[in-house]
Structure formats: C-alpha cells, structure tokens
Structure 1
Amino acid sequence: MTPAALVQDGVSIPGSFHTTDSPPVRCGRAYRHEALPRTVGAVDMTIPNEAYSGTSRTTPLGRLKAVTVDGDCLSALRTRRLVAQGDEDEYVVVTVLDTGVARLEQDGRAAPLGPGDIVIYDMARPVRLALPPSFRTKSLVLPRDVLGLSESDMAKITACPLGPDTPLGRLLSPFLAGLVDSAGTHPPRTGELLARNAVDLLRLLAAELLGRTSTDTSEGNRALLLRIQAFIDDHLADRDLTPQAIARAHHISLRYLHKLFESEDTTVGRWIQRCRLEECRRDMARQTNGSTIAAVAHRWGFTSAAHFSRVFRTAYGMSPREWRDSKA
C-alpha cells in the first residue's frame, strides 16, 4: 500500500490517495489496516488474500469528504465495539455503487446493490458491507447534523437503496458520482457551492426515502436546477455559456430551462451575469496579479469592458474602478 500525492490532469489537489503495489505480501494487510480505515472509518476488514489489489482516494469538499474506493473483493463490519471506540459516529456515508454488486446491512435491513444504486449508512450504529469482485464505490461522508434528521428518521433510511431507474435516482446517481470525481479540482468558492448543492440533494434523497416528497416532479426539478447551477459555476469563464448551450448540455428544452429558474426569481441570463460579477469582485479585491479591470472582466466571460462597467454599476451602485479603489 503506497500513499501518493493526489494529482488530476497534471494538477495536485488536496486529499490523499492510497494504492496497493509490490511487495504483494504486504499489500492486503496494509490496505486493510491503513488505507481503508482512513476513508470509511474503523471497521473489521476481511480480504481474501494478502495480495489484494485496490485503491482509495479521499478529497475534502467543504464540510463533506469525497471518497472513491475500488478493489478486488472485501467485506467490512463496523461493530458496536468499534462504534464505541471511534470518533466517526457523528458521520453518515452516502454511497453510489459505480461498478460491481454489493450488499449492505444496517438497522435490520439487508440491501442488495447494483450499479448506479445509492444507499445511506450511519457510522453511529453497526453496519456490514460486502463487496464481491470487482467493485468501485463513490461516497460522500458528511456530518450527521447536516441532514437535520432525528435519530429515528435516520434509522428509517439506512440500507434503503434508491435505484437509477427512479426519477430522483436518475438525477442523483450521475451527479453524486461526478461530484466525487471532481472534488478538489474546483476553485474554493465553486467547491463550497457544490458542497451546499450536494447537501440540498442529499436532503431530497432523505425525504424521498422517508416518503415525504410530493407526487409531482418538484423535487426532481430542484435536483436538476442544482446540477445546472453547478454546471454554470464550472463554465463561467466560457464566453459561449448561453441558455441554449446549457439546455443542450442537460438534454432539456430552452423553455424548460427558463421555467426551472423561475423558482429562483430570476432568469438564466441574470443568474450567469450575477455569478460572473461576483467572481470579478473577488478578483479585483485580491489585486494579486496586477490585472486591469478589462482583463478581469474578460477572464470571467464579459466580452465588452463598457458592458461590464454598466452592469457592475447597476448591481453595486458604483463603477468597477470605484469599487476596486475602495478595497485598496
């Protein structure tokens, strides 16, 4: 088991990465006792042989932790003794099974899992997870208080999988998997926004499992809106970011896209403009690279310095230069 720097597309990102390598005799033991407990908490681990092959990646995402684990085959048991001894009991794990099959047992339920299934388990109570070969899981680890659920409600939703064939599952499964994959690669503000969006989505998931969602598509619409807002944050610097491009990227009509933003009491274009203005303000406040106001505006997708000045004054009551000078 070799700890390594976490690098994606040639860029170092925060977090940790562990993988098994030679000598093979020590790999399974090291992975069992060192790598996995750091990612999923204290568990009794069963691995078929010492020449185990697997990797684990952990990346912070606001108050959340994004975790990817893959390997040959393993079984993990978190006993009452380990719950009492550890300090992970304040955390809940939301897992998407990316590849393979699995079985999760908690609170008297046993859930068989297939690719795309989402399931929740609580680190405050015993849990058993069996993963036959070969598998990959993508998980978000979050403080229990974030979901705002009572102890009894939490016990009702563990080991209750939400399948990718359900309306909310179709939206959540790829979103959560993509969020785990991209954790640590975004600017800090985008990472915080994504974490908040993820929490909103996980609350929707909890509500769905508790049977508290409405019979219409409002929850699914909210989940889609959050995905679109995260997409906008990731593409603010792209001057081709238009409502038409956003609708195409999410396989929805332009009319439907505009309807989604009615709940935000704004239009898609105004949402993009507001996000770009906020990024420009942050860059001008830092004043670390000597960029001109026009260069900052261009960096965040404004094609005209005059247009940028007009919309900035409308939004903040002063020109970009006046605002920058007030922060000097």
Structure 2
Amino acid sequence: MRYWTTEDRPAGEQFSYWREVICEAFTPLAAELPGARRTGRAYAHEIRSWVRSSRLTATNCAEVSSATQLITHGPAEVRRTVTDHVFVNLQISGHCIGTQAGRRCVVEPGGFALFDTTREYGLEFVADDRSQEWRCVSFRVPRARLLPLVADLDAATATTHDGSSPGLARIVASTMLSTWNGLDALDPAGGSDRLRDTGRADLDAGLRAAVNRYLAAHLRTGDTSAAAVAARFGISVRKLHQLYEGTDRSFSRTVMALRVDGCTRELTAPTRAGTLTELAARWGFADLSHLNRVFRAHHGCLPSEFGDREPAGPCTPVPAAVRTGSIPGRPPAATIARRP
C-alpha cells in the first residue's frame, strides 16, 4: 500500500506536490485550483489532500481525498501517457463533472464513470459543503481488459452510472467499494502494517525527473533559468535547488550538462551544419570560448577535436567527481584530461 499526503508540506509547496502525486499515482494530469492562474509566481495555496494506492493483479486501486479543483488529461498529457488504461471512478463524497469525447456527465456520491487515457478528458471535482473535501475510489484497468467486456468503449466514457439504482450499476459500484475496503485481505502485499508515506523522497525524485525532462525539451526554445523553471512547476526557487541536493549535480550544473549533451549529439551526427560558434549559440553558451571550457571539462578535449577522434572514441572522459566540480568554469589544471 502506498500513501501520499500534503499534510507535512508547507502551505506554499502543497499544491505543486499534489500535482506530482496525482501523476505518480494515476496518469499524466494537470491540476488547477478554482480561480487560479499562472502569474509567474509559485502557487501559495494550501490544499489538504491524500492518496492511498495499491495494486491488485493488473489493476491499480486508489482512494483519493482533496479539495475542489479541475484535473485535466489534455493533449500534452496524452502524449506523455505510455500505457493505455481506463479509469473507473466511484464517487464517495462531493461530486465530479466529467468530460470526454464531447460528452459531459455529473457523478454524484454512489455513482461512477469511465475515462479513457488514450484520449483527452477533464474532471472537475467539487468538494462537499460540510466536509470541504471530495473523495472517490478509482480503479485503473488496462484498456485491453475492458474491450471484450464493453460493446463500445469509446461511447461508454463520460457517462454516469447510478450505483444507487437497482441494476448492474449498483452491483459494479458495490463490488468496487467492497473490493477496495477488503483489499488488505485480497492482496498479501497490503495491510496497515505496510502502509507507508511515499511522499517526500519519491515525489522529490519524480519532480526532479519531470524538471529534467522539461529542461531537455526547452533548452533551445525556452527560459531555463531557475526562476522560470520554478514558476513553471509551481515551486519556489529554493525548493528547486533543494531537489538537486545530494545528487551528482546541482540544478545549474544539470542545465549545463544538458547543453553539452546537445552539442555532443550534433557533433556526432552524420551531417553537421554551421560553425562551432553557431553551435555554441544554439545551445545557450555565451561564446565559443565558453563552450570550449565546459566541453573540455566534460569530455577531456575541445569540440574541434571531438569529431577527429571518431569512431575509436571521441575523448578521454573526465571523472564525474572532477566534472561536477568544474562546471561552469575551468577545472584545475592537474585534473584536466589532456591530449598526449
């Protein structure tokens, strides 16, 4: 059983943490609080939320509690989704307004609806007035498992099934709830003694990986300064730098290493276009001298020497301890891997 909670996070970090939680526990998703819009600053909203999640054979089961918000699985999230699943969401408290394939449904407590991760969808969860939370139990089912069971799966999503009315919907809702409540007995890996907070270390690692993917995709076209990246992920600059503490590279050295990797890929491409000065400019270096210093710190030779050493091996790699200690400036003379 995995468990995440925002309770032990500072208020200013809770929402950004929560966005990473729902992606880790479910599928790539984007979340937005009521009336919130990006202003270039980190979100400062407090949001009390938790997720309990456990696997049962090929299905993942989870119970979620949070505050009113809009959760979307848009074009960018669909592109990032690597597995095809259908979510069957049973509402416990509050209600959900779901949209997919041009359909709109309202799911009240006791009802459920299906949403397909291969297509875009939106979930507007609205908290109960008294408890100020909504809760649902969600089953993530492999899409291939449902195709033989549902006559037209594409037409079955974003449609409310009322579990309070007699019929098949009531049986499905009751089975979902009893399965979740009895999961510890069904799953040997479950049990309250195995319940653990996977929040801080796992989610920091997940957030750091997401930042690294964003950096790699935007090195040449976007603002990769610490302030801009922190705002993009809804965290403080201080928190961004903390994500890299205890790793091989700081945030700034990670950015620089990714720039070097980009230059290296171009230098090893079958065809190369432009001069080294243009290469330096494309990958965000101040000038060719800057590229030369950083490139030699990483690879032990200059970019101009790099291609001449193929295919036997471009350069003598510089040890990681030296490399991480030398960026962005020149490493100590005794530690540079020099040519014979």
TM-score (norm 1): 0.50
Identify the structure with the greater helix proportion: 1
TM-score (norm 2): 0.48
RCO greater where, 1 or 2, for CA within 8 Å and sep 6 or more?
2
